[in-house]
Amino acid sequence: MKRLLLITAMTVALSLPGAFKPGQKAEGSDVRVLVSEVIDSRSSKGFFAKCELELILMGNDVVDSMGVRSVRIHYAVDDTGRILTHKKPPGSFHFNEKKDHQVNAKINLKNPARAARFIQSIKGEVELFKPSPKNGSQIVIGRFLDRPGKRISHPTLKKNQVEVSYVTREVYQAQKKREMKNAKGIKQLGQEFGEAFGKMFEGLFAGFMGDEKNAVHLVVNDPENRIVKFDFLDVDGNQVEPMSRSNMGKLRTFGFKELPSPHMQLVLYLATPESIQTAPFTLERVALP
């Protein structure tokens, strides 16, 4: 495997009139994309072949964002004419909660030709996440612990087809005991918690959840992957940081140092169309190892 360190810069400076809409260039966007490292392992068989680029994303809009939701590559070609574009989905979210001046992200391309010396052109776009209560991407739910087993009701969640329920072991076991008295128990249980919840819960609370008295368990149905992050606030609006976070299917578990207060507030960050700022970029003649 070969590695190459280099800095290739492309500044994206966009200025279009009108309000931002999904898929359009954001007004006054400022994003710079640099290639800091290339990892190239070419193979004629292609089993372990890959071409991975580490990008540095910089600019005023990167600083102002909560992070980079994705870096999508629409077109890539090496100097022999081989198309390197993958059909794989974008990678994971890259947070920038500390408002650093740069965020790192990786992209994967197909195996370049053995004779290729550089990537002739890469065209893609950066999706920046800019949440706020005004654009509907930052939702605060008060005293959600008062309603175990009930789906959290909010118009923005409904609009974006997101379902979130706070659940406890006791709620699940009591519901299961009532519903399992007839042959339609599992089906009715699933309807109570949302589509497919019943099948996922069967046996889950008895094993994975354990006896975490200070844990908060959320069941999430998010088919379009809108949820970026969950946060928690105390009654005064101060952030309460979980000691642990874990995911298992639709179950999200947050462990706290102390028993959560009934006044605890839940903050949901949603990647709504209104909160995503898109900035296209182009990189030329990226040298290969």
Which tokens is 276 given? Answer: 């995503």
Residue ranges with strand state E in the chain: 2-13, 30-41, 50-58, 67-78, 94-95, 102-109, 118-129, 138-141, 163-167, 215-221, 227-233, 244-248, 251-255, 265-270, 276-287
Residues 96 and 60 in one domain: yes
For the chain, percent of residues with pLDDT exceeding 70: 73
d(CA 69, CA 226): 10
pLDDT at 11 over 80: no
Tell me the CATH number at 87: 2.60.40
Confidence band of 33 (pLDDT split at 50, 70, 90): very high
Residues 77 and 19 in one domain: yes
Report which of residues 126 and 181 the model is more confident about: 126
Task: Please state, in angstroms and as integers, the Cα–Cα distance from residue 206 to each residue in 30, 65, 266, following that order.
Answer: 50, 40, 25
pLDDT at position 56, please?
A: 92
Residues 156 and 106 in one domain: no
pLDDT at position 9, please?
A: 44
pLDDT at position 118, please?
A: 94
Residues 161 and 98 in one domain: no
pLDDT at position 254, please?
A: 94
Tell me which amino acid residue 28 is. Answer: G
Confidence band of 22 (pLDDT split at 50, 70, 90): very low
d(CA 131, CA 276): 8
pLDDT at position 232, please?
A: 97
Residues 79 and 150 in one domain: no
Residues 280 and 240 in one domain: no
pLDDT at position 98, please?
A: 76
* Cβ contact 186:202 at 8 Å: yes
Q: Is 114 helix (H, G, I), strand (E, B) or coil?
A: coil
In the chain, how many domains are there? 2
Tell me which amino acid residue 242 is. Answer: P
Report which of residues 200 and 248 the model is more confident about: 248
Residue listed under structure tokens 């931002």? 20
Report which secondary-structure segment, H or E, holds 187. Answer: helix 185-193
Mean pLDDT of the chain: 79
Residues 82 and 14 in one domain: yes
pLDDT at 73 over 90: yes
Residues 266 and 280 in one domain: no
Q: Which residues pair with 57 in a beta bridge?
A: 33, 103
In degrees and rounded to multiples of 5, residue 168 shows phi and psi of -125, 165
Confidence band of 149 (pLDDT split at 50, 70, 90): confident
Report which of residues 21 and 120 the model is more confident about: 120
Query: CA angle 29-31-34, nearest 5°?
Result: 165
Predicted model pTM: 0.70
Query: Which structural domain, as residue segments, surrounds residue 221?
Result: 138-270
Residues 122 and 151 in one domain: no
Report which of residues 25 and 77 the model is more confident about: 77
Residues 117 and 196 in one domain: no
Q: Which residues neighbour 47 within 8 Å (Cβ) at sequence distance 6 or greater?
A: none
pLDDT at position 187, please?
A: 56
In degrees and rounded to multiples of 5, residue 180 shows phi and psi of -80, 5
**Torsion angle of C-alpha atoms 233, 95, 66, 38, degrees rounded to 10:** 180
Tell me which amino acid residue 207 is. Answer: G
Predicted confidence (pLDDT) per residue in 229-288, tens digit: 999 999 999 999 999 998 888 889 999 999 999 999 999 999 998 999 999 999 999 999
In degrees and rounded to multiples of 5, residue 193 shows phi and psi of -100, -5
Residues 8 and 126 in one domain: yes
pLDDT at position 230, please?
A: 96
Pairing assessment for the beta strands 138-141 and 265-270 based on DSSP bridges: antiparallel
In degrees and rounded to multiples of 5, residue 12 shows phi and psi of -110, 110
Residues 96 and 172 in one domain: no
pLDDT at position 154, please?
A: 93
d(CA 9, CA 59): 12
